[in-house]
Structure 1
């Protein structure tokens, strides 16, 4: 399975306390710290490597962007992280369909709902 160079997911709800618990359990990360308007940061650890984590509130259509700037996360792909986050945080999570290539539709995303249902959507204007 291909491992992505970084991971980015979009959270419908960004409860900082819940995120801190999840990031602590998956990455041994300390609590997120505010680093500017709508931005939070922390450094987790996995595979003996530091993993910079950044949360940007309301980054896209009211969703928060959660970005892991490393290929050493517990998740090889965005979809793996999205599924784990949706289960652990109990919220809808969106991510890219896969590694983006020129010519790909930039509005196609994968949606994972808190109840486990998932599928491809067009975002924005998915209406789902």
Structure 2
């Protein structure tokens, strides 16, 4: 399975306390305030690698952005983290459909909520 160099997903609604508890349990991460509506932290992978984390509370259309800047996270792809957070926290999650390279269309996303997964939404223009 391909492993992405970093992972970014979008969450709504953000439940910061629940997300922090989940990240602590999964990767021993603690998030601390790092400016207005921003949180930073560092988790640890199973092999001890540092996992830099950035959470932006208001990224787009009422969604928060969670970014793990490492290929060593327990989740090889964006969709793996999105599914795990959706299952654990029962919140709406969106993520890129694949790895992104300069020049790629950035608006093709997977939408995951209580109704399941919807492949390929155009976001933010979709209204979903």
| Same-fold status (TM-score > 0.5) | yes
Q: Name the TM-score, length of structure 2 as normaliser.
A: 0.92
Q: By how many angstroms is 1:76 displaced?
A: 0.3
- After superposition, the CA RMSD in angstroms is 1.4
Query: How many residue pairs get matched?
Result: 127
Matched, 1:119 2:116: no
**Cross-structure match for 2:59:** 59
- 5+ residue gaps, structure 1, are none
**Residue-by-residue CA offset, 1:80-124 (whole Å, 9 max, x unaligned):** 000001111111101111012355322111111134333220001
Q: Deviations over 1:33-77 (max 9, x none)?
A: 111011011111012111111100111111100000111100000
Structure 2 unpaired stretches of 5+: none
Write the distance in 2 (CA, Å) between the matches of 1:106 and 1:48. 32
